[in-house]
Structure 1
Amino acid sequence: MLYKTIYHSPIGALTLGADETHLVGLWLAGQKYFGAGYQEPFDERADHPVLQKAVQWLQSYFAGERPLISALPLNPQGSPFRKRVWQILREIPYGQVITYGDIARRLAQEQGQKSMAAQAVGSAVGHNPISIIIPCHRVVGANGSLKGYAGGLVAKRWLLRHEKI
């Protein structure tokens, strides 16, 4: 079974999705790849413990606090490559950004390769199913420019400003 609730944030309605034990999604309204990978419908259930915990996390985040990602049971669905990219995203500290190229170089080094395409990293970042909590908004272009964000560049700018970046 899959469950969902809606959280009304300063950047609009956020849909949170969970299975029995883990948060599996957090999507902005109109987000590209919204609900991707899930065939069965999500049942509305605001009282689900995982969803309640995620709402508390978001309330803390939008209040200007810096809640720990590790405080939530996360289970994003994706390929091993995407999951590795999303793990790297979890390591980006509040108030900092990293480039797609930085992530590609790190992965290439981990895999013993000379290089890796930043575009492959960009695709994995763009398919992050747990936006905000897994901070894909902290990834920028090589010159610090704001490159694509599945939730839209307006939301990305807002989140970066909110984190004082």
Structure 2
Amino acid sequence: MKARVSHLLQAVGILFMIIAMVSLFISKPMRFSSFEQRKLYESTIYQQLEEAGIATKAVVSAVINESELARNLLVKFFTQEGKRAEAYILLTKIAYNEGDLVNIVYNPENTQQARIAPKEEMELNWPLFGWCMVMGIILFWLGHFRYKVSGGLE
């Protein structure tokens, strides 16, 4: 019976390690750093930009830091028609520097309305990876130790 329990513990440990590896492909949205940022990202303008906006690349021409958590960007980009445009993006989640190339989504009717592309503000789910990997290693080691101590006897 001990061999079965040991093998079961090892199998569950390996399963947890596999789940940890799969979790590296799961991303989640970054956290909001302030209430104002949450309110802005949940606004109807940002939701409409996410659904009907046009994606393009832009260059950060200025970074305005109002506080340590609030970073506003002035970006320059070309529209679909080939015209130059500028947009002021409020309260970004990621810290950018001047000259950085960023992916944005802009409103074709009003090019001053833009936001950082939603896929840019995703991060890997490191806590899920860590917990699954630790649990997998502990269970695998426990099953291996139990098997060695019992001498493989049932």
What TM-score range do you get, normalising by the shorter chain?
under 0.3
The two structures have a TM-score, normalised by structure 2, of 0.24
The two structures have a TM-score, normalised by structure 1, of 0.23
